[in-house]
Structure 1
Amino acid sequence: MSEKKGSLSINSENIFPIIKKWLYSDHDIFFRELVSNGCDAITKLKKLEMMGEAEIADDEEFKIQILANPKEKTLTFIDNGLGMTADEVDEYINQIAFSGAEAFLEQYKDKTSEDQIIGHFGLGFYSAFMVADRVTIETLSYKKDAKAVLWDCEDGMDFTMSDSDKADRGTKITLYLNDDSVEFANIFKAKEILDKYCSFMPVEIFVSDPSAEPEYQTIMEEELTDKDTVIEHIVEPAKTEEKEKEDGTKETVEVEPEKKKVKILKRPVSISDTTPLWTKHPNECTEEEYREFYHKVFLDYKEPLFWIHLNMDYPFNLKGILYFPKINTEYESIEGTIKLYNNQVFIADNIKEVIPEFLMLLKGVIDCPDLPLNVSRSALQNDGFVKKISDYITKKVADKLSGMCKTDKEEYEKYWDDISPFIKFGCLKDTKFCEKMSDYVLFKNLDDKYLTFKECLEENKDKHENTIFYTNDPVQQSQYVNMFKAEGIDAVVLKDAIDQPFISQLEQKNENVKFVRIDADLNDSFTEEISEDELKDATEKLTETFKKALNRDQLDVKVQKIKDEKVSSMITVSEESRRMQDMMKMYGMSGMDPAMFGGSGETLVLNANNALVKYILANPEGENTDIMCKQLYDLAVISHTPLNPESMTAFIERSNKILEILSEK
């Protein structure tokens, strides 16, 4: 054909600033776009061949080659797909976004927000101009008698089209990188980006540096393939050793046969796993394969607890694997990664429209070819359809978990401590998930037995109807735990930060049910009766004595006859007040007085049955009364919460002093 010149057919001064500044926020995205185009060209050719509209050699291997040449400052993308004719280049390349360029430019040329929906305008190829001042295309169509075409565009707008001497079918795109983007011609950088976006493309991808010295490797001759280029034949002599004969003389014998080796050009290795695990049927996958895939994709040295393989063909196509990772909630943040793919092309991590929020705590991959993506693949369209995908994923996770609990509760219980934060967060965030999982949420009691919500209510029904007692730190609150055990009253362990909002939700959904921490109050189960006169007199005297010893104007003292005489003092905080304090800490208001918000603060409970309390009551002005009051108060605090540094220092000094007093006596 005769050479053709022109300007790209768009009604705008320049579309490329829009592409650079708005459409694609990450400059390395052009790798994904150009490789995806190559994959599409190969996929389309295969379909045409199946329909009898194209001929492909039986032994042809489809692949995409990427040449990163740092010396020439170029990147070249080569595919052996269906290629293009001159007319197709004119239509698909020269008329940028021919399906709606004018509307696109008019609506979005001044926009900087990515919240707008763009639609499909076929602009993927032009992401190349984010990094290149000049781009060339050499292409030869699969069509009979087609002529090869060379397209050359410089500075973003003006192009030339002419005949090319390209002899093999497919497309070769060369990017002449600008000075700010030469890093992309580094083979290691190229592999890093391709690993991010193209690890699971359905076509093999090979990367090389044509300017580098060729690499060689040595293999056994029988391992040769037709593709290997033999550089040198190597014969490794047989190994020998000396052996002593019966007559005492020695002889040399062969101990290994002669080995024939060859030196070949190093075999190229595809960076793409063309059949990732999620594309297979669950019955075809082994446990070892699931674990290997997890380690490879998420670079997590720990073993996953278990996984859910999603495999759906109707009413939409969706496949994927979701892993429940083992998390040490004391030291690690609960933050997962769900990688979203579209036809094995990586789109992004944790896209909230597709992945339910609570599942973003997990790790996994989801591939949905039916996703209605915008041209930059960074946002989704068609909210109704996307919501159905999200609902399906939620349902499959709930079905897997509830099914595990019903069919193998013992195994489910083994996982519970690790998966409970995920499930509780899901119940807080997703109503449908909560409805499905409500009967399968477990609570571990003081004897390490797992109970459902209904079973927890049954445990204390005779003594405390509709009340579930709990501890958030069985070690710190061991004094209270022992008292509960002694009275045969059960409590559950709720250690995680998610537990407080979760039990609040349960209380809202079950109006008569209350969760009460074991250090909130001492009820009649733990105490004996005391006359009103005796109680009033003891309370007044002990309050004044302790106020004076502790040098405090305000102190809430409660005197009770606790059955366990060994218990001298305790701290209780009402459930409402403690929750208010927790909320204030969450919002950075810990320095404020809880009383301002209706909280009554802490109460010092003194046991009228204890010998030390009796001594203080009988000797308010005694020589050692002050030191005993301070010690009893700190002991009460320690059973409730850790002492602050100043109080701990004073407590240790005082303990030493008490020991000195005892030793002198």
Structure 2
Amino acid sequence: MSKQKGSLSIHSENIFPIIKKWLYSDQDIFIRELVSNGCDAITKVKRLDTFGEADLSGETNFYVKVVLDKTARTLKFIDNGIGMTDDEVKKYINQIAFSGAEDFLNTYKDKGDKDQIIGHFGLGFYSAFMVADRVDIDTLSFKKEAEAVKWSCDGGTEFEMEKGDKLDRGTEITLHLGEEGEDFLNEYTVRSTIEKYCSFMPYPIFFDVADKEPEKDKEGNIVVEEPKPLNDIEPLYLKQPNSCKDEDYKEFYRSTFKDFKEPLFWIHLNMDYPFNLKGILYFPKLNTGFDTLEGQIKLYNNQVFIANNIKEVIPEFLLLLKGVIDCPDLPLNVSRSFLQNDGSVRKISDYITKKVADKLNQLFKSERQQYEKFWDDISPFVKFGSLKDEKFYKKVDSIILYKTINNKYTTVEEYLSGLEGKLENQVYYVTDKIQQSQYIKLIKENNLDAVILDHHIDSAFISYVEAQKDNLSFKRVDSDIAELIKDKEAIEGEEDKNQTEGLLSIFKKALNREDLKVKLESLKSDDVAGMIILSENSRRMQDMMKMYSMNGMDMGAIPSEETLVLNKKHPLISYLINNNEEGSDKANMIAQQVYDLAMISHRTLSPDDMSSFIKRSNEIMKHLIS
């Protein structure tokens, strides 16, 4: 073949600036594209061998090799695949956007589809010009009597093409790295990029540094190590679930995510119809603040890494998990990095959601004890999923657990059935077992239970559940529960009204609080002098306004809706009722202490109020010894 020069046949002006600045979002994508092309080339020649159109003579040693030469400033991509003739170079390289993979598939689409062709668009090769000032191709076709071809281009629209000197089948692409490719003269950068994009590609991928000093042992002898591929050509997710052991799943999790905490459990996805999807989703141990949770779901297309956490395919709430999903049917755009709008994407997302819900239901029904052990870790995920996806919520509604103050786990239905008619569709809950201990004690004394909702997703979650279940309400234990704990045998009369007014006057003056609300009750227990109650609606309104304020929104002053319930049976309250000492030091001290003790069980005192409380408590103890 005589030396030829020519211009690339392109369908738009200035194609290289477009490739560099627009087509590929990440510069390191070129490694993925060139390695993928090498794998495609091997798949093609293997398929032709199967059809009897190529003769590999039983060859099994297929590979893609990446070689870095820092001295020469080159990065080579070598495969022993199908190779190209001079006509194929003209067709697939010189005519940009004419897809070799697409043309090959059209030719052989009716002859079996065991091995997928990775490339679809024919532009992957040109991603090399994002980092290279010049690219050379040395290739030799599998065809008998084919001549080697050498092709070279400096990133413009001009190329040179001549007879090459390559002796073995396959293709060698040499990138002469320019200023924009400086980062890829670093061994670690190249290795980590190969591992990032090519971990599960179907043929061994080797990496070598040409000008690296050889390793030596203590005696000074050169150590020769057997080359090891950087990838796993048969990743676990492609295997049949019934052939995988628990330890296989755990090892795959450790190696893929570099997480040495064992996952709680996993879901092996394996679907062939109506779309092809395989993968493994892991439930990691969460147990942390919700806003710090971040999972990692790696999306692959025919074993080629596309991106992490693509929300079009992976529902947002599932991004709290870790996993690998490989879907050859994904409708990717030309850069193989972003999804096109397509109805099948929604179906894939729905399928993944359904499989997760099915797994949770299976665990609940067949392994309830184990499910309860997992619950504290997975509850934020399940609740977040319920808030984000109503279909998911309906699938898991009956298996959502709540931990109780008695360290048991219950569903809403189980909780309500245990009330035995004491309450009508009300679920009591606590947000802080220590601070709300007084209310918990009262709940237990009335043979009731309460659930613990101490995660900051719980506020939004219970409001959502109430909206889904019209006849259900959640009440925090410091809500208006006077009806529950008061002595119903006590008879209220005109005297109680007068006593309430007297106590209100004493407490307003002692606390200097004209807005104070006071209620006098005969409670079942005489251990409690006073308690703060707040209607559930008022408390949620306050929480919402606080949240807006924390986000920088001025919601104005938060009105106080708390009511101080005083226990008529308690000696301190009886003393204030029977001794008209309004304004005295003693009355003031009792009123202030009763109020602060009630408030401590309701919420945290301000720094000034806490200082006053401690000082007053010391004064009271001095009176005891005087």
- TM-score normalised by the chain length of structure 1: 0.87
Give 1:628 shift: 2.2
Give 1:95 shift: 0.9
| Contact 2:142–2:169 under 8 Å retained in 1 | yes
| Contact 2:287–2:376 under 8 Å retained in 1 | no
Partner of 1:160: 160
Unaligned runs of 5+ in 1: 101-118, 219-230, 233-262
Partner of 1:592: 556
Give 1:532 shift: 3.4
1:491 to 426, 437, 450: 450
Distance of 2:280 and 2:267 partners within structure 1: 6
CA deviation digits over 1:293-318, x for unaligned, max 9?
A: 21222222322111111111222211
Letter in 2 for 1:169: R
Give 1:352 shift: 0.7
Letter in 2 for 1:310: L
Letter in 2 for 1:56: L
3-state SS of 2:585 partner: coil
CA deviation digits over 1:243-263, x for unaligned, max 9?
A: xxxxxxxxxxxxxxxxxxxx7
| Contact 1:69–1:186 under 8 Å retained in 2 | no
Partner of 1:577: 538
Identity of aligned residues (%): 56
| Contact 1:215–1:266 under 8 Å retained in 2 | no
Give 1:210 shift: 0.6
| Contact 2:548–2:555 under 8 Å retained in 1 | no
1:612 aligns to 2:567 (yes or no): no
Partner of 1:178: 178
Distance of 1:120 and 1:544 partners within structure 2: 83
Distance of 1:544 and 1:296 partners within structure 2: 70
CA deviation digits over 1:180-201, x for unaligned, max 9?
A: 3222022111111111111121
Distance of 1:154 and 1:581 partners within structure 2: 66
CA deviation digits over 1:204-261, x for unaligned, max 9?
A: 111111111233579xxxxxxxxxxxx98xxxxxxxxxxxxxxxxxxxxxxxxxxxxx
Select the structure that is richer in strand: 1
CA deviation digits over 1:75-115, x for unaligned, max 9?
A: 11101110111111111111111369xxxxxxxxxxxxxxx
CA deviation digits over 1:112-132, x for unaligned, max 9?
A: xxxxxxx96421111111111
Partner of 1:551: 512
CA deviation digits over 1:135-181, x for unaligned, max 9?
A: 11111111111111111001332111111000011111111111232
Distance of 1:587 and 1:621 partners within structure 2: 40
Letter in 2 for 1:27: Q
Matches within 5 A, 1:44-55: 44-55=44-55
Give 1:479 shift: 0.6
Distance of 1:388 and 1:332 partners within structure 2: 28
Change (3 A) 1:482 1:592: same
Partner of 2:116: none
Letter in 2 for 1:592: G
1:98 aligns to 2:98 (yes or no): yes
| Contact 2:568–2:574 under 8 Å retained in 1 | yes
1:662 aligns to 2:621 (yes or no): no
The range that moved more, 329-338 or 425-434, is 329-338
1:187 aligns to 2:147 (yes or no): no
3-state SS of 2:93 partner: helix
CA deviation digits over 1:583-608, x for unaligned, max 9?
A: 1122225873344xxxx621122111
Partner of 1:38: 38
Distance of 1:202 and 1:164 partners within structure 2: 29
3-state SS of 2:42 partner: helix
Change (3 A) 1:369 1:120: closer
Change (3 A) 1:97 1:548: same
3-state SS of 1:58 partner: coil
3-state SS of 1:139 partner: strand
3-state SS of 2:514 partner: coil
RMSD (Å), alpha carbons:
2.1
1:644 to 585, 600, 606: 606
3-state SS of 2:46 partner: helix
3-state SS of 1:95 partner: coil
1:395 aligns to 2:354 (yes or no): yes
Distance of 1:99 and 1:180 partners within structure 2: 27
Give 1:645 shift: 2.3
CA deviation digits over 1:341-392, x for unaligned, max 9?
A: 1111111111111111111111111111121111212211252111111111
Partner of 1:9: 9
Partner of 1:61: 61
| Contact 1:577–1:594 under 8 Å retained in 2 | no
Distance of 2:3 and 2:163 partners within structure 1: 7
Matches within 5 A, 1:322-401: 322-330=281-289, 333-401=292-360
Letter in 1 for 2:208: S
Partner of 1:138: 138
Change (3 A) 1:26 1:330: closer
Letter in 1 for 2:270: N
1:463 to 414, 422, 426: 422
Partner of 1:318: 277
Change (3 A) 1:504 1:331: closer
| Contact 1:487–1:526 under 8 Å retained in 2 | yes
Distance of 1:535 and 1:122 partners within structure 2: 88
Distance of 2:496 and 2:381 partners within structure 1: 48
Distance of 2:79 and 2:352 partners within structure 1: 35
3-state SS of 1:488 partner: coil
Distance of 2:503 and 2:342 partners within structure 1: 67
Partner of 1:630: 592
Partner of 2:23: 23
Distance of 1:330 and 1:634 partners within structure 2: 30
1:602 aligns to 2:562 (yes or no): yes
3-state SS of 2:292 partner: coil
Unaligned runs of 5+ in 2: 101-118
Distance of 1:187 and 1:437 partners within structure 2: 48
Distance of 1:585 and 1:85 partners within structure 2: 71
Partner of 2:113: none
Matches within 5 A, 1:129-528: 129-215=129-215, 265-330=224-289, 333-528=292-487
Change (3 A) 1:271 1:488: same
Distance of 2:56 and 2:496 partners within structure 1: 99
CA deviation digits over 1:33-86, x for unaligned, max 9?
A: 111111111111111111111111434411111111111111111011101111
3-state SS of 1:566 partner: coil
Letter in 2 for 1:610: H
| Contact 2:530–2:567 under 8 Å retained in 1 | yes
3-state SS of 1:310 partner: strand
| Contact 1:96–1:123 under 8 Å retained in 2 | yes
Distance of 1:99 and 1:188 partners within structure 2: 32
Give 1:134 shift: 0.6
Distance of 2:215 and 2:142 partners within structure 1: 34
Distance of 1:615 and 1:156 partners within structure 2: 97
Distance of 2:126 and 2:513 partners within structure 1: 75
Count of aligned positions: 601
Give 1:461 shift: 4.6
3-state SS of 1:562 partner: coil
| Contact 2:509–2:583 under 8 Å retained in 1 | no
3-state SS of 1:265 partner: coil
- TM-score normalised by the chain length of structure 2: 0.92
CA deviation digits over 1:486-531, x for unaligned, max 9?
A: 0112222212222222221221122121111111012323112342
